[in-house]
Structure 1
Amino acid sequence: MSMRSVLGTAAGAALLLLAAAPAATASADPYETVTVDPTGSIAPDGTVTLSGTYRCLGNSGPVFVSSSVSQGDPSVRHGIGGTRAVCDGVEHGWENSAKPSSDTLTPGPAQVEATVMELSSRGGLPLPRFHATQRQDITLTES
């Protein structure tokens, strides 16, 4: 096996692990948490609002609470904003709103994933560090 093949395989494996990290890591520290409220809302113009709480500890770069929602087909997820987070060990509320590009979301059952993620710049290149992730079934209601 050539050195180029070995490096290509190692790089591919690293990218695969990085892509799987949010699903594989519920929390980097048991004290770090993110929750999702049991209901979200859809405005008449299609804007979706999701909310919950988070708690995280010390950071070296910017931290965000991101969220996404799916309904029906779990492989189709709609990003619903990102809120800047403060990692001071105290529980804070978060709320994200966005209007998905398609009108496929309707009031009713849905699945939300919320993630507290830091852009850590150790070594110069910003890399994600996941503090907490939560997947939850919710109900979208008309607002």
Structure 2
Amino acid sequence: MSFRQAVGAATGAALLLLLAPTAHALDEALVPSTPADSAVPTVPAASADWVTVDAAGRLGSDGTVTLSGTYRCSAATGPVFVSSSLVQGDSNVRYGIGGTRAVCDGAEHRWANASRPASATFKAGDAHVEATLMELRPGFMGLPLPHTHAAGRQQVVLARG
């Protein structure tokens, strides 16, 4: 690699670092938000993408948590997933509960994620869930970059079964 190429690569990397917060801020501005305890997201008029969380989750006898809801996304250039996380009690720690591949065809679809976090023990009762509709778009040098289509939050009740 020549000196000129090295300087060009370094300049490009520095520019990316400077622009990353701006790109993140733009993405954040485009994310539909939901009230903390609402099952129905607040969707901007220009957006056709949303995700909801069902008000009830399941807690298996082995500790497996199953969460579900609905989503809609209209267009994507990369793979899209519905991820979910759960927090229970006064903890500030969120636990990821699975991930489901989403179909972005403009139609409403159901999603369900299940997982048994090794470092957490959940109990039947109230919990808080956040679901995110996340796309992995081709980015700098072919690396996938996350793009949030929508996020939904819901206070849920975990029930045995």
The TM tier, using the shorter chain, reads 0.7 to 0.9
Give, in whole Å, the separation in 1 of the partners of 2:69 and 2:49.
Answer: 14
Opposite residue 127 of structure 1, the aligned amino acid is L
Matched positions, count? 137
**Aligned match of 2:31:** 25
* Pairing partner for 2:129 from 71, 93, 112: 112
Contact 1:22–1:115 (CA<8 Å) still a contact in 2?
no
Amino acid at match of 1:137: Q
* 8 Å Cα contact 2:63/2:121 also seen in 1: no
> Is 1:76 equivalent to 2:85 in the alignment?
no
CA distance in 2, matches of 1:12, 1:52: 37
Offset at residue 72 of structure 1 (A): 1.4
1:142 aligns with 2:148: no
> Aligned match of 2:81 in 46, 49, 64?
64
The structure 1 segments of at least 4 consecutive aligned residues displaced by more than 6 Å after TM superposition are none
Whole-angstrom CA distance in 2 between matches of 1:114 and 1:136: 9
Structure 1 letter corresponding to 2:106 = G
Deviation at 1:22, TM superposition (A): 6.3
Looking at structure 2, the residues matched to 60 and 83 of structure 1 have their Cα atoms a distance apart, in angstroms, of 17
- Asked whether 1:130 is paired with 2:136, we answer no
Higher CA-based Rg: 2
Give per-residue Cα distances to partners, 1:100-126, cap 9 Å, x unaligned. Answer: 113431110000000000000044221
Whole-Å separation in 2 of the counterparts to 1:54 and 1:41:
19
Question: Cα distance, 1:31 vs. partner?
Answer: 1.7
C-alpha separation in 2, matches of 1:61 and 1:110 = 32
Gaps of 5+ in 2: 1-13, 33-42
Verify the 8 A CA contact 1:36 1:136 in the aligned structure 2: yes
Question: Sequence identity of aligned pairs in percent?
Answer: 52
